[in-house]
Structure 1
C-alpha cells in the first residue's frame, strides 16, 4: 500500500448552545449547523508504541494478505483531531484501513438512526452521545455488547474508568455498550476576590452554605449566583440538586421505573432550586441557559455559577472574559454532581468486522491516547489520565481535584434516560419554571410527573419493556 494521505477537512461553525471544550460538544442538543465532509486516512509510518503494543492483527487481515477496512463515524472536534493525527500508526500496526465519515453531532445521531433503522448500514464504529442516544440504540439492539471485550482485556484496564463512568455506559441488563472518551460534571465557579472582600474564607460545600454564601454576596451590581432557568435547559443543572435531596427521576433510579418528579424529595429540591435562583440570581433568569449565565460570569456580574466543568477555560481567557486567573476559583458542586459521558465509542451490532472494530476502540481509548487527549483539553474518562503529566500541565489543580471528586462520587446521568428525553425535559422544566416564579410547586410537580409517566409507559409498550 502506498504511503499517502488524502484529507478534506473543513472547520465548521456551530450555532446555538452546545457546550464546548476545544471543540468538544457536551450535550444539550441545540441547533447545530456544520458542513459534512469525508475523511479518508491511508497508511502512515510512525507507531505509537504504548497504545498499540497489544494490537494484534487477528481480524485485521483477510486470507491471502488482503487488508480489511473499517467505517468509522465521528464529529469534528479535538477528539477526532487527535485520532486523525495518530491514525496512520494504528493502520500500520494492524493492517486495517480506516475510513472516517465526519458529521456534526446531531447528524451523527440522525444518520445512525436511518442506517440502523433500515438495516442497511456499513458503519462499524461510531463516536456518539450516550445521554441522547443510548436508550434508543439499546432498545432497538443497534449497539454491540462489549462486556467480554472490556472485562476480558487486562491490559486495557476497564477499572481505570471510574465506577460512575462505567455505569453510564452499562445497560440495565448489565451489558457494557460503549467505551467513554470524555466525561463532564457540574462545577462551582466562584469569584475569589469577592469572597475575600466579604470575609468568606471557605468555599461552600453544602446546600445550606451555598444559599448563605449567595445571600451574602448578592448585590445591586453582582448577583449571588446563577443557575440555568430556561425550562428544558435547566433540567440537567437541576439533576444534581434532585440527587442531593435523595430524589431521582424514576423509582429506584431505573430508566423505566415509575416517574418520581412529584415525590417529597423532588418537591423539596424544586423549591430549593427555585428559591435560590429567584432570590439571588440575575434578572431574567427564566430566559437563561449556560450561554447567558456564562456571559454574565465572564463580565464580572456573578459571584458564583454552577455549570458543566468544561466551561473553565473561558472564564480567564482575555479574549472572552474580563476576569483573571487570580479572580476565579473552582470547586466541586455543593450539590451531588452527575458524571455524564458526552462522547463514547460504540460498535454497530451488525458490524462486518467486530474484531477490527474492537481493535480501533481499544486503541482510541487507550491510556496513552487518553493522556494525549488531555493535553488537547479533552476532559477524559480514564482516572489515570487525570493523574498524567499532560493533565498537570493543562488544567488548574483545583479543576483536577473537582473532577476527580466528581468521577469518584457522581451520579452517572443528569437527565431522564428514555428515548423521548427532550419531551421529558420539557415537562420537568415546566415545574422548574413554576418553582422559580414562586408558584404552586407541588401542583406543577404532579403535572410534570403525569406527563413524564405517559412517556415512560409509551416507550415500555413500544419496546416491549413491560
Structure 2
C-alpha cells in the first residue's frame, strides 16, 4: 500500500459537471445533477466502482456519477490545480496526511457540521486526526492500512512459542528465542522510520510538536525519542538488517523469502510478495499486531490511507456530501473492507475482517493508529528525510548529536514558507 506520504501519494485537471445544486446547496438550475468523483488507481476494484455507482444512482434519483480513476504520478499538483480552479470535481480521494496541505490553500470545504451524522466519534484516529486542521474537519476518513508483524508459524513452533507476543517484553523474549540455529529473529532495516514513529508514540512523544505560537519544533532530541530508539536498537540487533537502508534496499520480502527470517514488520500485503518469491512458504505465514508496552493495548502504528474531501468549487456540494456519506457509511465500508482487505474507518467495524487473518491483525492495531505531524509542509520533511539519517547515525554511533540535528532539520522544513 502507499502510505500517502509513502504508501499512498495522490490526484488532476478534468472538470465536468452539469447543473444541480450550487456550492451553498441552493438550486442552480433544473435538470439532473452529474457529479465528478476522483478515485485513485487501485483504491477500488472495477467491480466495486461499478456496484457503488449503480447503487448510488438507484437510491439517489436525479443524480448521476462520473467516477474518474486518477493516476498516482503527479497527482499532488493536479489536486492543487483543481482546488484553485473555479470548476472542480465534486469529491476527491486524498491521502490522509495530505489534507492539511490542501486545506491550507483554502479550496477544501469544512465538513465539521457533518461529523456527528457520519459517526465521527467512532473514527479510527489515524484517519480522523490528519483530516482535522485547526479544529475543522476537512477530510472524512475513508479507509486505512497499517503495519503488522508477519511471522513464520513453523519457526515459532520450533522455538516453542505457542502464541504471538502481546507486549514489548514478550516480543523481545520471543525474538531472542527465534534468533538461533541459523535463523534470523527479525528482519528490521535501520531506516524503517515508520516503525520508529510507532515506538515514539508509545513513549508519549512525537516527530514534531506545534507550539502556542503556531511554530513547529522537531522532537527527536527528547527523552521519549531516546527511549524509542533504545527499543528500536534492541529489536534491530536480533536480526541482520542493514543499519543504513530502508525496507526497499534490499526488498524485505525477498529477504524473508530466503526462508531463515522469523518476523518482519510490513503491511499484510507484504505476505503476497513473500509467497510470490517463495511459494513453499504457503500456509506458514501468520500475522499479529505490533505489540505495545502493555498487553491491554497494541503498539502504536502509522496509519496510511485515504480521506474524502469536497472542494469549495464544487457546484453540487449537497449532492457531493451524499457521495461522501455513502462511501464513509457502514454498508460500503463493510463491502470495501472485505473486498480490498482495508481497515474500515470506524473502530466498531473492525469485526468485518474477522475471516482475514492479516487484515484482522491490521484492524486490531489500527485502534492505536497515528499520522505524521499535521502540517502542510510535511512533504518537505520527507523529501530528504532526516529521520532515516537520524536512525542510521544512532544505530552506528556516528553522531552523538544526531537527535538535535534531525530535530533542527524537521523544524526548518515545517516552518518554511510555501
Match of 1:167 in 2: 129
Match of 1:16 in 2: none
Question: Structure 1 residues 411, 399: closer, same or farther in 2, change over 3 A?
Answer: closer
Give the alignment partner of residue 140 of structure 1, picking from 80, 89, 105: 105
| Cα deviations by residue, 1:35-90 (Å, 9 ceiling, x for unpaired) | x9989999xxxxxxxxxxxxxxx9697654x0112222221214263133320232
| Cα deviations by residue, 1:225-253 (Å, 9 ceiling, x for unpaired) | 122434xxx22221111122322112379
Deviation at 1:120, TM superposition (A): 4.2
Give the alignment partner of residue 114 of structure 2, picking from 149, 160, 163: 149
Question: Structure 1 residues 358, 30: closer, same or farther in 2, change over 3 A?
Answer: closer
Contact 2:93 2:309 in 1 (8 A): yes
- Specify every segment of 5 or more residues in structure 1 that has no aligned partner in the other structure, as ranges: 1-18, 20-24, 43-57
* TM-score (normalizing by structure 2): 0.83
Contact 2:195 2:301 in 1 (8 A): no
Figure out how many residues of one structure are paired with residues of the other and give that number: 400
CA distance in structure 1 between the partners assigned to 2:58 and 2:26 by the alignment: 11
SS in 2 for 1:79: coil
Q: Is 2:330 the partner of 1:376?
A: no
* TM-score (normalizing by structure 1): 0.75
Match of 1:349 in 2: 312
Match of 1:445 in 2: 403
SS in 1 for 2:406: helix
CA distance in structure 2 between the partners assigned to 1:283 and 1:430 by the alignment: 16
Give the alignment partner of residue 269 of structure 1, picking from 180, 205, 228: 228
- Specify every segment of 5 or more residues in structure 2 that has no aligned partner in the other structure, as ranges: 19-23, 293-298
Contact 1:74 1:108 in 2 (8 A): no
Match of 1:418 in 2: 375
Which structure has more relative contact order (CA 8 Å, sep 6+)? It is: 2
Question: Structure 1 residues 258, 31: closer, same or farther in 2, change over 3 A?
Answer: closer
Match of 1:12 in 2: none
CA distance in structure 2 between the partners assigned to 1:37 and 1:323 by the alignment: 45
Matches within 5 A, 1:46-445: 63-64=29-30, 66-79=31-44, 81=46, 82-94=48-60, 95-117=62-84, 119-131=85-97, 133-151=98-116, 153=117, 156-171=118-133, 173-219=134-180, 221-230=182-191, 234-251=192-209, 257-277=216-236, 279-284=237-242, 286-289=244-247, 292-315=251-274, 317=275, 321-325=279-283, 327-335=284-292, 336-338=299-301, 340-379=303-342, 380-388=344-352, 391-393=353-355, 395-396=356-357, 399-400=359-360, 402-408=361-367, 410-413=368-371, 415-425=372-382, 426-440=385-399, 442-445=400-403
Contact 2:127 2:306 in 1 (8 A): no
Question: Structure 1 residues 293, 272: closer, same or farther in 2, change over 3 A?
Answer: same
Deviation at 1:449, TM superposition (A): 0.8
Deviation at 1:222, TM superposition (A): 2.7
Question: Structure 1 residues 124, 247: closer, same or farther in 2, change over 3 A?
Answer: same
CA distance in structure 1 between the partners assigned to 2:16 and 2:102 by the alignment: 26
CA distance in structure 2 between the partners assigned to 1:31 and 1:197 by the alignment: 37
Question: Structure 1 residues 197, 41: closer, same or farther in 2, change over 3 A?
Answer: farther
Deviation at 1:341, TM superposition (A): 4.4
Match of 1:11 in 2: none
